[in-house]
Structure 1
Amino acid sequence: MAPPPWAFISRRGLREVVLWLLSDKPMNGAEVIRAVEELTWGFWKPSPGSVYPLLKQLEAEGLAKRREDGRYELTEAGRRAVKLIPWAKIPRPGAPRNIEEVVEELESWSMYLADVATTEPDRIAPYRERIRKIAEILQKV
């Protein structure tokens, strides 16, 4: 899961999202912009005029530091700040960690495919045979 949609509404939202992203790994400004865009499925692509001043501000506040490779990483104060973000405990997007999460993901994706098959059958048509084979494999589980 990712930050809730309302997290992206304001400049403060960008601050929290950037802190959250940096808690995962060091990034430079371009990587932050791309990560936000990917996280929001293209809904929001923050401008360099928003991201780079924010990174400098986080550095000035002692929440992040710029490494020699140009990437920013959180300081201990930055890690503490992330813990204060209400939604920061939401798991990172990525691979499921256990069988229950795999089943939940499969259920969500199968519901998505069913909706696409209903509303846009031409989009799903090229994949019907592969989907059928996957369903056969799952039937054996």
Structure 2
Amino acid sequence: MSRENKTMYTLLGLLMYSPLTGYEIKRTIESSIKHFWQESYGQIYPTLKKLVDQELAVVHIEKVEGKPDRKVYTITEQGRQEFINWLEKPIEKIPIHKNELLLKVFYGQYLTVEQNIEQIIQYRQKMEDILQTLNTTEQFLISRKKDDPHFDYWMLTLSHGQSIVKATIQWCEDSIDILSNK
């Protein structure tokens, strides 16, 4: 069985909102879903071509004075239906989450306790930075997007991220306590 191309659905989902260029798609990902989903330009542009080839999207050229032409992609009705069909499918398997810190902790016996604690402290700081970003995003959405029909769904994904990060920060603190008492 071939792997399903989730990049295709990421792009179709973004095109459900509005027509976009490849650059705008990347920028939108970076400003909205990057904490739980990422795509590179190397994934975006070939997938846009496939969407057009499969008639799930169309592309039109916009002339921009003094700049290169812009390729703007718009989802087709067939693309909308493909996207909705994918949304309706149940999740079949949970992906394995790769975490370099956990890999290092697993092999922590080869370092000193202090080195392990330092790794966890640095990781906790990164998680606290992410939590601050998520909290800022929450305030932005509440202040500017509360009437948007997508608001509740955006808040659900944001809340998931906040919960995971808070739990990770708590795990860091618990782990530091455990290692400090060795």
Choose 1 or 2 for highest CA Rg.
2
Gap regions ≥5 residues in structure 2: 63-70, 90-140, 170-182
Identity %: 26
Return the offset for 1:46. 2.0
Which residue number corresponds to residue 95 of structure 1? 145
CA deviations 1:21-55 (Å, max 9, x no partner) are 00110001111111112222456542211100000
Paired residues in the alignment total 93
**Inter-partner Cα distance in structure 2 for 1:38 and 1:78:** 24
Higher relative contact order (CA 8 A, sep 6+): 1
Tell me the amino acid that sits aligned with residue 75 of structure 2: L
Provide the TM-score with structure 1 as the length reference: 0.53
Flag the 1:81–1:11 CA change in 2: closer, same or farther, 3 A. Answer: closer
Provide the TM-score with structure 2 as the length reference: 0.42
Which residue number corresponds to residue 56 of structure 1? 49
- State which of 7, 19, 22 in structure 1 corresponds to 2:15: 22
Q: Is the 8 A contact 1:37 1:44 kept in 2?
A: no
Tell me the amino acid that sits aligned with residue 145 of structure 2: A
**Inter-partner Cα distance in structure 1 for 2:11 and 2:4:** 11
**Inter-partner Cα distance in structure 2 for 1:46 and 1:86:** 19
**Inter-partner Cα distance in structure 1 for 2:50 and 2:41:** 14
Q: Secondary structure at the match of 2:58?
A: strand
Flag the 1:21–1:50 CA change in 2: closer, same or farther, 3 A. Answer: same
Flag the 1:15–1:60 CA change in 2: closer, same or farther, 3 A. Answer: same
CA deviations 1:91-117 (Å, max 9, x no partner) are xx772239xx79xx7xx99xx8xxx9x
Gap regions ≥5 residues in structure 1: 1-9, 120-141
1:1-141 alignment, distance < 5 Å: 12-41=5-34, 44-69=37-62, 70-86=71-87, 95-97=145-147
Tell me the amino acid that sits aligned with residue 17 of structure 1: T
